[in-house]
Amino acid sequence: MTLRIGIDVGGTFTDVVAMQPGGSITMAKALSTPRDQSLGVLDGLRKLATRLDMGLDQLLAQCTQIVHGTTVATNALLERKGATLGLLTTCGHRDIIEMHEGLKPDRYNLRMPPADPLVSRDLRIGITERLAHDGSVATPLDESEVIAAIERMKAAGVEAVAVCYLHSYRNPVHEQRTASLVREHFPQAYVSLSSEVLPQIKEYERFTTTVVNSYVGPVLKTYLEQLEHRLSEAGYRGEVFIILSHGGIARVAEAASLPSATVLSGPAGGIVGALACARQLGLDNVLPFDMGGTSTEISLISGGSMALTTERDVAGERVALRSFDILSIGAGGGSLAGIDASGRFSVGPHSAGAFPGPVCYGLGGTHPTVTDANLILGYLNAATFRDGQSRLDLHSTTAAMEALGARLGFDSVAAAEGVFRLINVKMADGIRLMTLRRGVDPRNFALLSFGGAAGLHATAVARELGVARVVVPNTASVLSAWGMLASNLRHEATRSQLCETGELSDDELAGMFTNLEHEARAACGFTAPEGSQLWVERSAEMRYGDQIFEIDVNLDGLDTSMSGFVEAVEARFHTRHEALFTYSNPGETVEIVTIRVAVSSGSERMVVSKLTPSDTCSAEPTGLRRIWIAGEWREAPVYDLVELLPGQRLNGPAVIDSENTTVLLHPLDSALVLDGAWVDISVGRCD
């Protein structure tokens, strides 16, 4: 037996999924270990081995590939626990990272204090050098200044260096020479070059992305080396791959050299899994709704595809590498409920995390959370939580919720209901940000519910939005880890080439894309090996001549060798512009700002089969549970997901229990069980 393993480290749980060649999966969960995530990973692998009736060494000996989603880089940014950083830049430009394009994150908040930069001003050192806009050398690099700056950084205890010179995306010669000097005189420092991290126009985005890369680089590099060492000691001999923010996977060495590409590593696995689910369901319009222990990730699949963005801020820092367009909000099972500084009842964004966790876990938590509210309302079974691996402490949970309720003038049940309703409204508002503000009506979409906590909240959130359909896949509690196994090796090559399309011939534009494709293939180190496929995706950031912003235009399906290639690219731009802004201007000058090629390679994509119900049959509950629903206590039937058959229909109120998640059906909800134990819910209206 051979296995592929996906691992997703979340704020509360580490999910591990093993997939056999036929597609069957085995899953396990372990508590995350924030101080050293590799410990939680190894614990999850041991639990997985036990599930498969083998030892850890046997499991790893049969594993051919591990794909890992990590939050190490994200946490380093959020907690400001990255490397002590120095910045070398062109004289007169050391304050670019603080200028933020002249805008504050909240531009109308007059009392908003400036954010602390990742590099202190005394360690942002200007170097005499200058490249012209076309890449020609206007002022040679003063190497003596570089060496003096290196000595200054060494004395200040710098651990990582970011090198960001003007116009280096056109000519990296000065940055490359600077890197050689840093490695010669300061070999222990981690070095990032903007011409390698983000070789494209716009200084602010290029500078800040490179600074983030160096800031989190040493932390991620240390973690990945530690993880590989521990896996090797445990008997693993295969390669470890890291999923990147755009959904592709990379070898450890590439991820360690481009750590800023991992800031959405875990959520990206969920999106790849959501896309696979959408294909299985035959749906083009889906709202992936991933509610875990610490946060909820919300995204938008429209027309069968997921949008990529370069306008991503993480912990207040711009990371302009391409990533899935995901909104993350502080709303999860571990979100803390309480009274905020203004005296208002609030839930989140702070979380109890894995330790001490919710009060009901019995690990020392004292402040009530969303999970505690769900236990008090009867939605969770204290004796069978996580398939009986954990017994929940209802007594302590009730006492903690009573203490919160006393401050609000409520009893424990009313306080728990308030927590449940408030977190649902908060998540519904997040979905509105992803849809209504973009001119998209969420009522035309199905909600795809995944993450360990989502099943309890999905139908209530859907009802808030007027969404009529919720689907819960059988891998809901581990969809991010499962989705990682649907990812392929991927590398993106980017180059800014500001020019008018009218000045380009077909051969010139085709040559630009061909050169980038060769660069992407070389960086990945693959062609199309036997038994695998190769995918090449092309796109360009384009604009009308008088515009100050660009739009991303997908060029897939266009043959670069075709006659009229430039005209076809222009036509794609006009069509995309009209789709986004309801108008186009074919007579206007069109400019290409940046071109991009992504090359991905791997084995056949995950096999998907359309899920269809068989003949309708009745389902027998395994028991009854007293739950608080629609303002009263009711005895609701409880169903075991693994015992349900395709075609069975369940009517709410009801509870569906599975090993690692629970699905709650409200009155008037109706659920149809599909092949593979997927649950397809028609959301009823209670008003």
Residues 565-585 pLDDT 10s: 999 999 999 998 998 888 999
pLDDT at 687: 44
Strands (E), 477-574: 489-500, 533-544, 551-554
Do the domains spanning 3-76+222-262 and 79-217 agree at the CATH topology level?
A: no
The top-scoring range by mean pLDDT among 122-126, 202-206, 600-604 is: 122-126
Burial of residue 52 (number of CB atoms within 10 Å: 0-12, 13-18, 19+): middle
Number of Cβ atoms within 10 Å of the Cβ of 488: 21
Q: Is the pLDDT of residue 456 over 70?
A: yes
pLDDT at 385: 64
Residue with token string 């309801």: 582
| Each residue's pLDDT tens digit, 633-669 | 999 999 999 888 888 899 989 999 987 789 999 999 9
For the residues 334-355, what does the mean pLDDT come to? Answer: 87
The predicted model scores a pTM of 0.86
| Each residue's pLDDT tens digit, 506-557 | 999 999 999 999 888 887 665 444 445 678 899 999 999 989 889 989 998 8
CATH number 2.40.360 is the correct assignment for the domain at 489-602: no
Residue with token string 């594993």: 63
Which pair of tokens denotes residue 646?
């395709």
Q: What is the DSSP letter of 665?
A: E
Contact at 8 Å (CB) between 209 and 319?
yes
pLDDT at 566: 95
pLDDT at 532: 54
Confidence of residue 50 (pLDDT cuts 50, 70, 90): very high
Q: Is the pLDDT of residue 502 over 70?
A: yes
Edge-to-edge strand order for the sheet containing 632-640? 623-629, 632-640, 654-657, 662-665
pLDDT at 608: 44
For the residues 599-615, what does the mean pLDDT come to? Answer: 56
Rounded Cα–Cα distance for residues 129 and 137 (Å): 8
**290, 346, 512 from 451: Cα distances, Å:** 5, 22, 42
Write down the domain spans for the chain: 3-76+222-262, 79-217, 270-483+616-687, 489-602
pLDDT at 414: 96
CATH number 1.10.10 is the correct assignment for the domain at 79-217: no
- The type of residue at 79 is E
Which is the CATH superfamily of the domain at 3-76+222-262? Answer: ATPase, nucleotide binding domain (3.30.420.40)
Rounded Cα–Cα distance for residues 640 and 673 (Å): 12
Q: Is the pLDDT of residue 595 over 80?
A: yes
Confidence of residue 602 (pLDDT cuts 50, 70, 90): low
pLDDT at 525: 61
Helix, strand, or coil here: 349? strand
For the residues 94-115, what does the mean pLDDT come to? Answer: 80
Helix, strand, or coil here: 172? coil
Which pair of tokens denotes residue 42?
């190894």
